[in-house]
Amino acid sequence: MMSLRTAASAFSTLSTLSAFSALVGITSLAAPAHAAEAKQPASYSNPVLSGFHADPSICRVGGDYYLATSSFEYFPGVPIFHSKDLVHWRQIGHALTLASQLNLTHTRSSQGIYAPTLRCHDGVFYMVTTNMEGGGAFYVHTRDPAGEWSEPVWLNDPAFAMDPSLFFDDDGKVYYTRHGGGEHGGVYQAEIDLKAGKLLEQPRLVWSGTGGVWPEGPHLYKHDGQYYLLISEGGTSYNHSLTMARSPSPMGPYTAYAGNPVITHRGHPELPLQAIGHGDLVQTPEGKWWMPLLGIRPVEQKHHLGRETMLTPVAWNKDGWLTVNSGQPLALEMSGAGLPPAAPWPAQPVRDEFDAPRLALHWTQLRGPGDGLWSLSECAGHLRLKGSSVTMNDIAQPAFIARRQEHMRMRAATQLEFQPAAASEAAGLVLRQNEKNYYELRITGAPRRRLELVERVQGVTTLKGSAELPAGPVVLQVESWPDHYVFSFGSGSGPFKPVGSLPTAPLSSEAAGGFTGVFIGMYAEGAKPRQAMPAADFAWFDYQPVEK
C-alpha cells in the first residue's frame, strides 16, 4: 500500500462511489440503503463480520472500504467485502474464482489459502497470499474488486512464505513482507517489482518480534516519516497478541515498542472476546484511525463459529506509537465515535430459491468449482447435487455447497427431493467443521428410504436418530443455540418432527482442530465407483438469524 499519509489523501476528490466506479470501471456496487439519512452511530457491535471471516485485511479508496479474509480449503477463495462505514459489510465477490487461480486438489482442511493482504495503489487492487499446499506465495490484481481478478503471479520466494503483505512507499518502491523461519522465526522482507512479478532480492530477516511464538501476519506502514511493522505473536488462539516495531528505514533495523503488546486478551478468560490479533490499519477521510482484526466468541472456552472480524479504534500517541481502543479491551458493544456515517446495506433474504443463473456469493464448495457435481439449470428452480463416490470423510471434492454459520442463534432449513437407489447413497443437510467432525441430517436407504441424524466426531461416525419417511419432498431443519443444535424434519403440511439434539462443542476448533468454522449446507454422496446415483434436488435453502 501507499504510505499511510499518502493513502489518507488518495482519491480525495472521489467523494462518491460512482466517481470511483468511473475511474476503475466498477459497475456492480449499489449504494447502501438510506444513505441520505445516515448519521454517525452512537455505538456498533463486534464482530462486524460474524462467523468464519479470519485474518481481515483492508484498504480504502475515497469513502469506500474493501476487506479480504482467509478461505483455507474452501472455493472460491478469498471473499471480498465492501463497506461505506467500516461496520456494515457486504460481500461483492472473491479474488480467486477459477480453478486456474486456485489449486486445492487434495488440500487438507485448514490448509490452502492463508491470510491475504489487500492493497490498492493507483487504481489497481492487489491481493497477495499463500497457497500453503499448492505452490507458495502469489498475488492477483484487478481494477474492479467486484469482478474478475488476474491469473496468479507466482513469486520467486523459495522459503516458507506465510502471511505475505505489500507496501507501496512514497519513492515508488514496493516491499514484500512475510513471516518466515517457523514458529520462532520472524519477519522477512524484500523489495519487489510488481510489473515484472518478481522479488528483486531474497527476503531477509528484519525483525524477530518480541519472543512470542509465530511472529506472523506482518504489515508494513509509514507514519510521520517512520516505518512501522505490525505483527501477531503468541499463536492464533488464546495467547494471540499484536506487537509493533519501528525504524527510519523500511529494511530496518527495527526497535520494538516498550509498551508491547499493543493489544491482547490473554490472561483474561472473563472477557467475551478472545484470541484478539492479526490486525490491519485504515484511516478515514476525516483522519480517524481504525483497525479490523480477528477474534473469537468462545462458549465455555470453545468456539465453533470460527475466527471473526472485529473492529476497534486506534490512535497514535505522543511518542508515535499505536494505542488500541484507548488501552482498553475490545467489547461486544463499542463507541461509534470517529466512525463514518452509518450506511447499512439492504437485508439479505432468508430464502434462496435457486432461481438465479449463478450461485449467490455466500455459497462455497470444497477444493474446487465442482464441475459436474451440481447444476442450477437441470431442474429449474432447484439446486441439483449429483453425488459421487467421494464422501464428506474424504480429502477430495464431494458434492457439497454450503455457507458459513454466522450466528449463535439461527435456523437453517432446506427442502429436498431424493430417492436413493442403493443403501450407500445419501443426501441432505450437513454442518461441517472438517472431514473428521461434522453432523448430517440425511435421507438414505433403499429400497425403503429413511431419515438419519449422523454424528461424526474425531473420525468416529455414530447414528444418533432415525425416522421413517413418506414419499415426496422432505424439509430438513436445524436450529442452533450457543451450546447445541436441534434437528427436525417435515413433510406435506404436517408439523415438524424432532430427530435429536447435538452439542456445538465437538465442532469447535478446540475439539476438532483447525482454523475455520462451521459451514451449513447441502451435500450428496455414496455413488459406487464409475456409476451415477439419483440426483438430489434442493428446492430452496433458508438461513435465518434469530439473534440481532
Count CB-CB contacts under 10 A for residue 102.
28
In the numeric block, which cell numbers belong to residue 536?
A: 438430489
Burial of 428 (0-12, 13-18, 19+ CB in 10 A): buried
Question: How are the residues of the chain apportioned to helix, strand and coil, as percentages rounded to the nearest 5?
Answer: 5, 45, 50
Q: Determine contact, residues 215/208, Cβ cutoff 8 Å.
A: yes
Burial of 267 (0-12, 13-18, 19+ CB in 10 A): exposed
Please state the pTM of the whole predicted model: 0.92
Burial of 42 (0-12, 13-18, 19+ CB in 10 A): exposed
Enumerate residues 6+ apart whose C-beta is below 8 A from 457.
Answer: 436, 437, 506, 511
In the numeric block, which cell numbers belong to residue 363?
A: 455459497
- Residue 135's alpha-carbon distances to 70, 105, 209, 364, 519, in angstroms, are 17, 12, 27, 22, 26
Q: What is the Cβ-side half-sphere exposure of residue 126, based on CA atoms within 13 angstroms?
A: 23
Angle at 263 between CA 259 and CA 269, to 5 degrees: 120
State how far the Cα of 421 lies from the Cα of 475, in Å rounded to an integer.
20
- Residue 49's alpha-carbon distances to 30, 147, 451, in angstroms, are 19, 21, 34
State how far the Cα of 489 lies from the Cα of 468, in Å rounded to an integer.
11
Q: In this structure, what are the phi and psi dihedrals at residue 421, rounded to the nearest 5 degrees?
A: -105, -10
Count CB-CB contacts under 10 A for residue 204.
11
Enumerate residues 6+ apart whose C-beta is below 8 A from 20.
Answer: 11, 14, 26, 61, 62, 64
pLDDT by residue, tens only, the chain of 548 residues: 344 433 333 333 333 333 333 333 332 344 454 444 568 889 999 999 999 999 999 999 999 999 999 999 999 999 999 999 999 999 999 999 999 999 999 999 999 999 999 999 999 999 999 999 999 999 999 999 999 999 999 999 988 789 999 999 999 999 999 999 888 899 999 999 999 999 999 999 999 999 999 999 999 999 999 999 999 999 999 999 999 999 999 999 999 999 999 999 999 999 999 999 999 999 999 999 999 999 999 999 999 999 999 999 999 999 999 999 999 999 999 999 999 999 999 999 999 999 999 999 999 999 999 999 999 999 999 999 999 999 999 999 999 999 999 999 999 999 999 999 999 999 999 999 999 999 999 999 999 999 999 999 999 999 999 999 999 999 999 999 999 999 999 998 889 999 999 999 999 999 999 999 999 999 999 999 888 999 999 999 999 999 75
State how far the Cα of 227 lies from the Cα of 82, in Å rounded to an integer.
28
Q: Determine contact, residues 280/229, Cβ cutoff 8 Å.
A: no
> What are 480's strand-pairing partners?
410, 485
For cell 469513502, the residue is: 63
Q: Determine contact, residues 186/180, Cβ cutoff 8 Å.
A: yes
Q: What is the Cβ-side half-sphere exposure of residue 231, based on CA atoms within 13 angstroms?
A: 34
State how far the Cα of 46 lies from the Cα of 41, in Å rounded to an integer.
14
Q: Determine contact, residues 126/6, Cβ cutoff 8 Å.
A: no
State how far the Cα of 266 lies from the Cα of 243, in Å rounded to an integer.
14
State how far the Cα of 125 lies from the Cα of 118, in Å rounded to an integer.
7
In the numeric block, which cell numbers belong to residue 181?
A: 523461519
3-class secondary-structure state, position 233: strand
In the numeric block, which cell numbers belong to residue 210?
A: 518480541
End-to-end CA distance of the chain: 35
Q: Name the residues annotated as catalytic.
A: 55, 216
Burial of 463 (0-12, 13-18, 19+ CB in 10 A): exposed
